[in-house]
Every structure is written in C-alpha cells, then in structure tokens.
Amino acid sequence: MTMLAEQVDGVIGVHTHRDTLAAAAVSPIGAVLETTDAPAHGRGYQRLLDFARSHVPGRR
C-alpha cells in the first residue's frame, strides 16, 4: 500500500462556516505549516487558492 506522504507534497484542509473559511497547509507527515482564514465569497476563495499554491506548490 502506498503511503500518502509518498504521493503528495502537502495537504490543504478547509473547515467551512457560513461566513468564513478556515484553512491549514499540512506537510505530508502531518506537521501544520501555516493556517489562515478568509471570508466565504469569491475573493475569499481566491485568497485560499493563493494560500494553497504558496504553501504547498507541488502535489496537493
């Protein structure tokens, strides 16, 4: 069985709320690299995409 750490460079987790989104960039072995939050609308979604690309630029 292949381990997740062998398949990705990191994981982005998102916790949704009605008005906000909370996200975390996590290393393949589970270390939290960075966290952020954003409003739940178009610009907020773009901010989370930029966050993901910045903190885990490889395979997610």
Categorize the per-residue pLDDT at 23 as very low, low, confident or very high, splitting at 50, 70 and 90.
Answer: very high
User: What number is the average pLDDT over the span 11-40?
Assistant: 96
Task: State both tokens at 60.
Answer: 């997610």
Is the pLDDT at 21 greater than 90? The verdict is yes
Report the pLDDT value the prediction gives residue 56, as an integer from 0 to 100. 95
Amino acid 4: pLDDT: 79
CA distance 7 to 43: 30
Q: Kindly report the pTM of this predicted structure.
A: 0.86
Render the burial of 40-49: b for 16+ CB within 10 Å, e for the rest. Answer: eeeeeeebbe
In this prediction, residue 1 has a pLDDT band, given cuts at 50, 70 and 90, of confident
